[in-house]
Structure 1
Amino acid sequence: MAAYSSEQTQTALPQGLLIDLDGTLFHGSVMIDGADRLIRLLKELELPYLFVTNNSSASPETVAERMQAMGIPAEPEDVCTSAQGAAAYIAGEKPGAKVAVIGEEGLLEAVRGAGLNVVYQNPDYVLQGIDRGLTYDKVAEAVRLIRGGAGSIMTNPDLLLPSEGGVIPGAGSIGAMIQAASGVQPVVIGKPSPILMNVALERLGIGAERALVIGDNLATDIAAGNNAGCRSLLVMTGITNKDNYEALRLQAGAEPDQICEDLNELISYISAMFRK
């Protein structure tokens, strides 16, 4: 993989990082070795970053609290969720829009926080994320509204989610049912779509060419970086490893600019870039 060479000038250094969470900094509720030291290094270097996650169910406050409990420095303002991305996208398309929400508290909070109105009569958009209280009636109503002209927005395309008892259907599985019944392909916000990345870049105040995306999943993190025009770095701490890399690379159609075996190597890599 291509790396930053010693001949490159300071202008080539990233001005901000977009960092994935589950599989990159932690597994479930367990911190991956080096995650705490990585964030402390970024703070020491005063290098801006955001934690960018496809999770639409948890608020930034909840995400930050979970990370803090693992020992990873995190504040709500460090977190950018697909729920926030979806709300920002809709607000950009139609400020104050009426939105019918299929999702959990994190999604509802993001929608209201963006100045949008949660309604279930004549909405401008149907916004769907993960909803573990999903019912047939909710799906039927969403289909009716979309077929009636409401725009269809999906927070993220993840078909499966990790859980204590194994994987469970994710937002993408719910979205697949709604799409099949409505005949309308939704606008997808989360990774690998560039929309969430663009929202995060705007928050950081940098262009895509000056950002570095860090993640463990070629099909989501690295593909999102590629699609948004960012450089990307793969850490083999989660989905991707040496054994499956080539197969996943071909399947995803995405390739990182750099690979690090673990977070310790990533820490050394970043230190070498900024401490020449």
Structure 2
Amino acid sequence: MTDKREVRTWLTDMDGVLVHEEHAIPGAADFLRRLQELDLGFLVLTNNSIYTPRDLRARLQASGIDVPEDAIWTSALATAQFLNDQRPNGSAYVLGEAGLTTALHDVGYIMSSREPDYVVLGETRTYSFEAITKAIRLIAAGSRFIATNPDPSGPSTDGLLPATGAIAALITRATGVEPYYVGKPNPLMMRSALNRIQAHSETTVMIGDRMDTDIVSGLEAGLRTILVLTGSTSAAQVARHPFVPTRVVDSIADVVPLVDEFAARD
């Protein structure tokens, strides 16, 4: 990076940057430990809406990575905050799991299938035809359509799984209604994360493994960006995009020495 501004806060994606499946990526624990030693603000971001921050902290701890619960920001939390800002104390029919329903409950939302203000679609491993049909009928009747993130598929030990974006496409095809996606690549996810830790885009870096979500949303939110090559995007794919990260590195281990360098800039 040739930018001389110091870096006071860091945002980082989780899967593909800090962990792969259930295993820590070398350098991840060192990176987070150094941020805490320097008392630099940071958030771990994820488009996965299945888990609560407490669940994700336990998952990371099992991999040998220690992240405080309040340093984890999910698309479910960003969605709940967005809905609370738009329509406080509203109602929603939810297709999702504990991470999403808990976040909505915490902002005062009522879960209802009777004329809800919103149909909210999140990640789940148990999509049912009955629930999808109900969502389609509610949207056709006038409920607003929100989805936590547009990811069409997700990884598993057995291969790809259909994710939120794929189910959203099915519902859109049936209703003609496109959802509003809150999570990455919507820069709203980045802005909500910055607001949570009272950070400024001018002095924040976003680290991610996907050009089409992490890097583009960081770019559109005015952040400097670092792409790591331990996840979804390969080095050969970077040049195919009409935008570029501020920097491309092999892994999070290569970011560790940069933390001190950027923190010392003035």
Normalising by structure 2, we get a TM-score of: 0.96
8 Å CA contact 2:8, 2:263 repeated in 1: no
Q: Tell me the distance in 2 between the aligned counterparts of 1:26 and 1:177.
A: 30
Cα shift readout 1:202-236 (whole Å, capped 9, x = no counterpart) = 10112323321111111110011112222211112
Matches within 5 A, 1:188-199: 188-199=181-192
> Hey, what does 2:91 align to over in structure 1?
98
Unaligned runs of 5+ in 2: none
Matches within 5 A, 1:143-162: 143-162=136-155
Cα shift readout 1:44-95 (whole Å, capped 9, x = no counterpart) = 1111000010000011001010101111111211110001111100000011
Deviates further, 115-124 or 255-264: 255-264
Change (3 A) 1:274 1:211: closer
> Hey, what does 2:259 align to over in structure 1?
270
Letter of the aligned partner of 1:260 in structure 2? V
Is it true that 1:232 corresponds to 2:225 in the alignment?
yes
> Hey, what does 2:248 align to over in structure 1?
259
Change (3 A) 1:75 1:68: same
Letter of the aligned partner of 2:108 in structure 1? G
8 Å CA contact 1:219, 1:254 repeated in 2: no
Is it true that 1:36 corresponds to 2:25 in the alignment?
no
Is it true that 1:22 corresponds to 2:15 in the alignment?
yes
8 Å CA contact 2:211, 2:233 repeated in 1: yes
Is it true that 1:72 corresponds to 2:65 in the alignment?
yes
Matches within 5 A, 1:233-252: 233-247=226-240, 250=241
Q: Tell me the distance in 1 between the aligned counterparts of 2:8 and 2:257.
A: 18
Cα shift readout 1:16-62 (whole Å, capped 9, x = no counterpart) = 11110000011000100000000000001111000010000011001
Matching residue within 2, 5, 11 for 1:4: 2
What SS is found at the alignment partner of 1:108?
Answer: helix
Is it true that 1:212 corresponds to 2:201 in the alignment?
no
8 Å CA contact 2:24, 2:63 repeated in 1: yes
Letter of the aligned partner of 2:233 in structure 1? T
CA RMSD between the two structures: 1.3
What SS is found at the alignment partner of 2:255?
Answer: helix
Q: Tell me the distance in 2 between the aligned counterparts of 1:13 and 1:147.
A: 50
> Hey, what does 1:51 align to over in structure 2?
44
Letter of the aligned partner of 1:4 in structure 2? T
Deviation at 1:200, TM superposition (A): 0.7
The total of aligned residue pairs comes to: 265
> Hey, what does 1:61 align to over in structure 2?
54
Letter of the aligned partner of 1:241 in structure 2? S
Deviation at 1:274, TM superposition (A): 2.2
8 Å CA contact 1:56, 1:106 repeated in 2: yes
8 Å CA contact 1:155, 1:171 repeated in 2: yes
Cα shift readout 1:157-197 (whole Å, capped 9, x = no counterpart) = 11111011011101111111111111111110111111211
What SS is found at the alignment partner of 1:42?
Answer: helix
Cα shift readout 1:115-158 (whole Å, capped 9, x = no counterpart) = 11111101001100122222222111111111111111000111
Unaligned runs of 5+ in 1: none
What SS is found at the alignment partner of 1:62?
Answer: helix
8 Å CA contact 1:130, 1:174 repeated in 2: no
Normalising by structure 1, we get a TM-score of: 0.92
What SS is found at the alignment partner of 1:166?
Answer: coil
* Structure with bigger RCO (C-alpha 8 Å, 6+ apart): 2
Deviation at 1:275, TM superposition (A): 4.2
